[in-house]
Chain A
């Protein structure tokens, strides 16, 4: 048991090191190594899945007051996440072999992918905040490397920077939150914290502020409003990366973290309310934005944002179980959708605009059908997996009417924009040369699609879902929730079909949605103003205080000293001895007569 968890965690690290240090020139070997590593992690995750709870660890750094422990904590949450991360990870690694076969930087790609697996599994296994935070940062680094994999394209390099910097903001809050929690309780271990936090007698301000700072980490990593701007740009990375990191696993880390540390939040209604509305605002904004995008990956990216918003909202509704259940189903169907999109992009020679596609159902049957499955799961069509998990969230919001309405609206919008995407990209006639000559992708890519379609279909069914995760009360979810969700779904699909069937261009034109509520522009301006302001201040300080005062003062002093020393030049040595003696006299005088 003990070694199993370590094998899961460290095999990908070994692979990342070996690939980076030794097998860089052997691209094929590197990719197989990386796949083998994640395969081992997956096998051992299966073992863990059938083993009892446990935890163990060792102290890595011990400096008395400051200790860093590396330890794992296995409970229901960890088991499920291990399976999701390593399972989806394995399929996407395999898919990558096909997708990246012509890429010169394949070794680099697989090295970074292994590093990502290590860090993500580190977050999942961590039994304390410090280890989680370190893995959290490593995930940020590997995400940066992978988004910027094609760094010679300036858009990719910019997107990588943006993702890293925006996450920095959230992580800063996260770190402050961890420090606050630590200083209040004296521990960072989750099990210990659970007991100590509830018995903490501190003011309600502290009990709200500290959890909200921790939540900042989730806002950054799970791309919640107002830090959501990095995720759509992150689609500049290779599509398997988008599927693994920016849809299925890493962005879900924020939700996982909230569930893991839910004990911090449950005592503060205010914190929960803020989390709920951040989640809902993200979900709504992203759903609106998705209706007007024409890049297939961007539509999926906004839908990811929207679904992440729902998961965060579920935590805010004090139902983290429902959020994690949605995370679980979402991981499979969203990875499926992204890989399907990747398959289309691959065969259409890197065409990503849905208005340049069309008529793909005959030319790419496997991609077509599996994509359909993913779409149905995402838009919550019964009995696909997404229906059950979204219904759980909707049911949890029953007591809160505004939240209930917002979730229903998101359900409608999701059905609408996915119907639009599906109709435009796959049905009708081919609109371009490339789309006409499309052909099915190689088997190394289609097999993962088929394998992912299975959980996307059945994972939500109550008898199967209960094997993985126990969500309270979703079998008995009230009829209103089911009826509302069905109505929203049918209305959305019908609207999408009616508007977009056999169209060659978008009949709707809503710039506000297309330009993402102008939030990115606002940030750009804001950053520019702040930068100009800071630059102005720095310039002033540099020119007038440092240059004028310190440097000229110092150089004057140096020159003066040099001038003075010139008189002692007769023998440097005498000068030294003189100064030495002077030092002794001054020291003696100060201590014997000066210090009280």
Chain B
């Protein structure tokens, strides 16, 4: 097939722009139709990705290898599920967005994530600092709009401002670091940098390391690694929930692919590569401790998930820090796949329940098992998987990460990881306890679930188990 892979991003971009145009030039049309068109369009893109074989692209800054394909599928799938969530969330959006018609702004809310998706897909293929930077900005700028989308909600606005400023701050570090690396190596292309590095003289090591660390800071912001995670709880809580899910899954995943590629490039020069790994170890340790300890006292599920997403970034960083082990990249990929399933499952159910109960505190989930057994079971599976119970996808991910840490002899991280998994059980099971052991509040009716969300929940639960029971499915993702 002579289908140029880079066309896919353009198709996605066109899809997003087309939806925006439809939004502008129609008035009476039901806006949720746009979301459905978006889902179908992205579904077609997903199918094409399924069919395209990896191969050379003829472009120096753009690769189409199995890792890139995996991440493209990953973000497309995430976007589809985010759109499904957004449809459920539409009522809340309407409440907080001023407009003449009742559905004002909804079309944009459905179309912009598709533009973000295009940016993320580019990032998955980018191996040049310039393309990485541009696609990163496409993603980030569209997130500025999405996070602050609920204009009449103060906390959404506040979250948007915080995200805007801190993100700009981190982008500065990233660009500065890339400039240093360019200054020393004369290249922005990661493949070339990898080739050039071993020939560098020792007097350049500090400069190249300085640049690498600054790039690490910029990426550390995207993946919510401590100490660059301060924005996460506030922004996650203030943003519209589907966007929170998008941030915590999509944005983090593409952050990790860029991180993997950058760290990999520096391994060709061991004096610098080892110090980059040392920095990763420090970040991983800090992230594990901060994410898991801070999650302990949370009583709000959305905020709890924010901290848990920091904690999971810690485990993923463990795998990246074990870059010397053979399966490091594979562990990151499988962990992210598991993370997608369980995190989106949690957010989907969170949206449905909090829409109904008008609040996302854990107490709103009291007695859910009696009111809506399916929702309770779905969230149970998500929590089990997040905590890492065997025969769920989350366990497989943690197993592989710990294996990588063991093989690369990061025993301190390994010990820390095992202890923090213990913390995880505490705060995830708190949600389970609320659903299954606490009695329901006054509002005891069954919560209505739309057919699409129902099917999504069932599928996510199913795949969470399938990945856990048949791990080969996951190891086959990269072949």
Contact = CB atoms under 8 A, between A and B. Distances in A.
B470 A580 contact: no
A584 interface: yes
Interface in B111-142: none
B475 A577 contact: no
Interface string B249-292: 00000000000000000000000000100110011000000000
Given A573-B161, A587-B282, A588-B210, A65 B403 contact: yes
A517 interface: no
B472 A61 contact: yes
Contacts of A102: none
A580 B213 contact: no
Nearest to A588: B213
A166 B397 CA distance: 33
Contacts of B470: 60-61
Categorize the interface residue count of chain A. 20 to 34
B166 A573 contact: yes
Contact of B231 (A576, A583, A587): A576
Contact of B169 (A61, A64, A580, A590): A580
Given A63-B471, A63-B475, A573-B161, A587 B279 contact: yes
A591 interface: yes
A59 B165 CA distance: 52
A563 B91 CA distance: 39
A591 B279 contact: yes
B230 A591 contact: no
B452 to A, nearest CB: 25
Nearest to A573: B162
Interface of chain A: mostly helix, strand, loop or mixed: helix
Contacts of B282: 587, 590-591
A7 B58 CA distance: 53
B165 A577 contact: yes
A483 interface: no
Contacts, number: 72
A572 interface: yes
B400 interface: yes
Nearest to A558: B297
B206 interface: yes
Contact of A61 (B173, B226, B278, B471): B471
Interface in A566-588: 572-573, 575-577, 579-580, 582-584, 586-588
A585 to B, nearest CB: 10
B170 interface: yes
A595 B162 CA distance: 33
A592 interface: yes
Contact of B162 (A62, A65, A576): A576
Contact of A591 (B166, B213, B327): B213
A253 to B, nearest CB: 24
Contacts of A62: 471-472, 475
A573 B165 contact: yes
A93 B364 CA distance: 48
Contacts of A590: 279, 282
Interface of chain B: mostly helix, strand, loop or mixed: helix
Given A63-B399, A63-B400, A595-B275, A580 B210 contact: no
Interface string A110-139: 000000000000000000000000000000
A587 B281 CA distance: 11
Contact of B166 (A61, A64, A576): A576
B126 to A, nearest CB: 24
Contacts of B206: 592
A587 B279 CA distance: 7
Nearest to A595: B278
Contacts of B275: 591, 595
Contacts of B475: 62-63
Categorize the interface residue count of chain B. 20 to 34
Most B Cβ at <10 Å: residue of A59, A62, A572, A591: A591
Contact of B209 (A65, A577, A591): A591
Interface in B209-263: 209-210, 213-214, 216-217, 221, 226-228, 230-231, 234
A85 B387 CA distance: 39
Nearest to B217: A584
Contacts of B278: 591, 595
Contacts of A591: 209, 213, 275, 278-279, 282
Contact of B234 (A572, A579, A588, A595): A572
B227 A580 contact: yes
A65 B407 CA distance: 11
B213 A579 contact: no
A577 B166 contact: yes
Contacts of B400: 63
B390 to A, nearest CB: 11
Nearest to B225: A583
Interface in B441-479: 470-472, 475
Contacts of B226: 583
A59 B473 CA distance: 13
Given A62-B475, A63-B471, A591-B275, A580 B399 contact: no
B169 A587 contact: no
Contacts of A61: 470-472
Contacts of B214: 584
A574 to B, nearest CB: 9
Nearest to A64: B327
A580 B170 contact: yes
A566 to B, nearest CB: 16
Contacts of B327: 64
Contacts of A579: 227, 230
A575 B165 CA distance: 12
B385 to A, nearest CB: 17
A580 B228 contact: yes
A406 B400 CA distance: 53
Contacts of B209: 591-592
Contacts of A59: 472
B395 to A, nearest CB: 11
Nearest to B294: A558
Most A Cβ at <10 Å: residue of B209, B221, B228: B228
Interface string B362-398: 0000000000000000000000000000000000000
Contacts of B173: 584
A419 to B, nearest CB: 52
Interface string B157-175: 0000110011001100100
Given A64-B403, A591-B279, 15 more contacts: A62-B475, A63-B403, A64-B327, A572-B234, A573-B161, A573-B166, A577-B169, A579-B227, A583-B217, A583-B228, A587-B213, A587-B217, A588-B213, A591-B209, A592-B209
Interface of B: 161-162, 165-166, 169-170, 173, 206, 209-210, 213-214, 216-217, 221, 226-228, 230-231, 234, 275, 278-279, 282-283, 327, 399-400, 403, 470-472, 475
Which 6 residue pairs across A and B have the least CB separation, nearest first? Answer: A583-B227, A576-B230, A591-B279, A595-B278, A584-B217, A62-B472
28 contacts: A59-B472, A61-B470, A61-B471, A61-B472, A62-B471, A63-B475, A64-B403, A572-B234, A573-B165, A575-B230, A576-B231, A577-B165, A577-B166, A580-B169, A580-B221, A580-B227, A580-B228, A580-B230, A587-B213, A587-B216, A587-B279, A588-B210, A591-B213, A591-B278, A591-B279, A591-B282, A592-B210, A592-B213
Interface of A: 59-65, 572-573, 575-577, 579-580, 582-584, 586-588, 590-592, 595
